[in-house]
Amino acid sequence: MVVVAKKWVLKKNFIGEPKDDDLVLEEEQLPALKDGDVLFEALWLSVDPYMRPYSNNLKAPVDMIGQQLARVVESKDGRYPIGSRYLGDFGWRTHTIFNPKAMEGVKGTYGKDLVIPCPDLAGNPESYSLGCLGMPGATAYFGLLKVCDPKPGDTVLVNAAAGAVGSMVGQIAKIKGCKTIGYAGTEQKVKWLKEIGYDFAFNYKTEDVSATLSKAAPEGINCYFDNASSEHEGVGGDFSNTVITKHMSIGGRIAICGAISSYNATAPPMGPELYGTMIFKQLKMQGFIVYQYYSEYHAAVKELAQWIKEGKIQVCEDVTDGFANMRSGFYGLLKGKNTGKAVIKA
Ligand X SMILES: NC(=O)c1ccc[n+]([C@@H]2O[C@H](COP(=O)([O-])OP(=O)(O)OC[C@H]3O[C@@H](n4cnc5c(N)ncnc54)[C@H](OP(=O)(O)O)[C@@H]3O)[C@@H](O)[C@H]2O)c1
Q: Binding residue for ligand X (CB under 6 A) from 160, 254, 304, 343?
A: 160
How far is the C-alpha of 164 from the C-alpha of 242, rounded, in Å? Answer: 24
Residue 55 binds ligand X, judged by CB under 6 A: no
- The reply to whether 260 sits near ligand X by the rule CB under 6 A is yes
b/e per residue, 5-40, with b = 16+ CB within 10 A?
Answer: bbbbbbeeebeeebeeebbeeeeeebeebeeebbbb
Q: Determine the residue with CB nearest ligand X.
A: 163
Q: Is-cis flag, bond preceding 269, omega within 30? A: no
Based on the shown chain and the rule CB under 6 A, indicate whether residue 145 belongs to the binding site for ligand X.
no
Please give, one letter per residue, the 3-state secondary structure of 29-76.
Answer: EECCCCCCCEEEEEEEEECCCCHHHHHCCCCCCEECCCCEEEEEEEEC
**50 in contact with ligand X (CB under 6 A):** yes
Q: Report the nearest approach of ligand X to the CB of residue 285 (Å).
A: 14
Assess 130 for contact with ligand X (CB under 6 A).
no
Distance CA 252, CA 125 (A): 37
Q: Which of 227, 240, 249, 320 binds ligand X (CB under 6 A)?
A: 227
Terminal CA-CA length for the chain: 20
Nearer to ligand X, 97 or 257 (CB): 257
Q: How far is the CB of 266 from ligand X (least distance, A)?
A: 13
What string marks each residue from 10 to 49 as x (binds ligand X by CB under 6 A) or -? --------------------------------------xx
The amino acid present at 44, given as its one-letter code, is W
How many residues of this chain interact with ligand X, rule: CB under 6 A? 31
Ramachandran sector of residue 43 (left: φ over 0; alpha: ψ -120 to 50; beta: rest):
alpha
Q: Which of 148, 228, 244, 274 binds ligand X (CB under 6 A)?
A: 228
54 binds ligand X (CB under 6 A): no
184 binds ligand X (CB under 6 A): yes
Give 101's DSSP letter: T
Cβ atoms 209, 130 nearer than 8 A: no
Q: Is 129 in the site for ligand X (CB under 6 A)?
A: no
Q: How far is CA 286 from CA 44, 161, 224, 320, in A?
A: 32, 19, 11, 34
Shortest reach from residue 342's CB to ligand X, in Å: 6
Residue 65 interacting with ligand X (CB under 6 A):
no
The piece of 70-78, 93-101, 108-116, 252-260 that touches ligand X (CB under 6 A) is: 252-260
* CA 115/CA 87 separation, integer angstroms: 6
> Does residue 235 touch ligand X according to CB under 6 A?
no
- Burial code (b: 16+ CB inside 10 Å, e: under 16) for 151-168 equals eeebbbbbbbbbbbbbbb
Q: What is the footprint of ligand X within residues 317-336 (CB under 6 A)?
A: 333-334, 336
**Does 174 sit near ligand X (CB under 6 A)?**
no
Q: Is 238 in the site for ligand X (CB under 6 A)?
A: no
Piece of the chain touching ligand X by CB under 6 A; list 15-23, 164-172, 207-215, 306-314 = 164-172
Binding site for ligand X (CB under 6 A): 48-50, 136, 139, 160, 162-166, 184-186, 189, 227-228, 232, 257-261, 288-290, 333-334, 336, 338, 342
